[in-house]
């Protein structure tokens, strides 16, 4: 018998996942070039050119404000799909039921617990990460609006303090996304090739 195949990710989830990767790559790299025009933190006075996109401030802004459409439209499709299909309910979205699973999972990762706690598609910590990153994404978009349109949408700007603070928040949400990306890559790496492929084909080989 050949290995059983297990359907993991519907087409819309896979498509939006990779479009999101493309959009965030554009947004973060062009954003770092924009950052270089007027650095916020003394300890981060210049991002190396190789990590940036756009070549100069004007070019970076062009990329950033093209990428925002991919990110925004893709994000709306993802949210609408999740709400209508209830796709992530129980499997991906962190709920009250998952609270109890957090500590055992931490103990397991710290090797203080031998047995992997029972979990479905994703464990409690993964659910927490995937759920919070959606909110981080929303935060990145909102802080972006706050500094793109501080007069037309001044309400949002003031939600984050003021224009200068909103810039710092925008950077912080970006940094949180990059941190998630690092952890995400690590988890994907230790979970194996078949797991990675499931986000491309939809199916995962089960041993």
Partner 1 sequence: MNPENGKKSLFASRRSFLAVPPALFLAGCRFASGGKVDSTLKGFQRFNDWIQAKVFDPKKMAQEYSDEELTPEDGFRVNGYDTDEPDMDIPHWRLIVDGLVQKPGEYSMEEITKLPKYVKNLRHCCVEGWSMIPKWGGVLMKDFLDMVGADPKARYIAAECGDDYYTAWDMPSAMHSQTLLAYEAYGKPLELEHGAPLRVVMPVKLGYKSAKWITRLTITNEKPGGYWEDQGYDWFAGL
Note whether 207 binds partner 1 by CB under 8 A. Answer: yes
Which member of 13, 29, 136, 142 binds partner 1 (CB under 8 A)? 29
Residue 175 is a binding residue for partner 1 (CB under 8 A): no
Size, binding site for partner 1 by CB under 8 A: 52
Please tell me whether residue 112 binds partner 1 under the rule CB under 8 A.
no
Nearest approach, Cβ of 91 to partner 1 (angstroms)? 11
Distances (CA, A) of 86 to 4, 89, 91, 122, 202: 26, 5, 10, 16, 18
Longest Cα separation, the chain: 64
Smallest separation (angstroms) from partner 1 to the CB of 146: 11
Chain center to CA of 131: 9
167 Cα distance to chain centroid = 19
CA distance 5 to 206: 6
Stretch of 80-88, 97-105, 114-122, 135-143 contacting partner 1, by CB under 8 A? 114-122
Reference 20, options 63, 54, 70, 76; nearest CA is 70
Q: Which of 15, 47, 57, 102 binds partner 1 (CB under 8 A)?
A: 57
H-helix or E-strand spanning residue 163: helix 163-191
Phi first, then psi, for residue 205 (nearest 5°) are -70, 130
Nearer to partner 1, 119 or 201 (CB): 119
Min dist CB 16 to partner 1, Å, is 15
> Where would I find the H helices in 38-162?
57-85, 102-109, 124-148, 154-159
Q: Which of 86, 95, 116, 132 binds partner 1 (CB under 8 A)?
A: 116
- Is residue 128 within 8 Å of 98, Cβ to Cβ? yes
Task: Indicate whether 164 belongs to the interface with partner 1 (CB under 8 A).
Answer: yes
Q: Are 200 and 2 in contact (CB under 8 A)?
A: no
Q: How far is the CB of 111 from partner 1 (least distance, A)?
A: 12
Is 80 a binding residue for partner 1 by CB under 8 A? The answer is no
The reply on whether position 125 binds partner 1 by CB under 8 A is no
Contacts with partner 1 by CB under 8 A lie at 21-22, 25-26, 29, 34-35, 37-38, 40, 50-53, 55, 57-59, 61-63, 65-66, 69, 116, 119, 121-123, 126, 149-152, 154, 158, 163-164, 167, 187-196, 204, 206-207
């Amino acid at each position: 018998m050949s290995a059983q195949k297990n359907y993991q990710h519907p087409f819309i989830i896979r498509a939006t996942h990779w479009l999101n990767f493309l959009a965030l790559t554009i947004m973060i790299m062009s954003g770092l070039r924009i950052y270089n025009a007027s650095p916020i933190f003394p300890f981060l006075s210049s991002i190396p050119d190789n990590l940036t996109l756009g070549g100069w401030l004007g070019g970076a802004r062009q990329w950033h404000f093209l990428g925002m459409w991919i990110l925004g439209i893709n994000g709306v499709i993802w949210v609408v799909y999740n709400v209508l299909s209830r796709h992530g309910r129980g499997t991906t979205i962190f709920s009250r039921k998952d609270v109890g699973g957090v500590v055992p999972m931490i103990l397991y990762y710290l090797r203080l617990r031998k047995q992997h706690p029972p979990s479905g598609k994703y464990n409690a910590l993964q659910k927490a990460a995937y759920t919070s990153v959606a909110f981080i994404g929303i935060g990145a978009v909102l802080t972006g609006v706050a500094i793109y349109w501080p007069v037309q949408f001044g309400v949002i700007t003031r939600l984050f303090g003021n224009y200068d603070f909103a810039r710092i928040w925008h950077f912080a949400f970006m940094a949180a996304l990059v941190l998630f990306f690092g952890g995400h890559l690590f988890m994907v790496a230790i979970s194996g090739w078949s797991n990675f492929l499931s986000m491309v084909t939809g199916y995962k080989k089960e041993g």
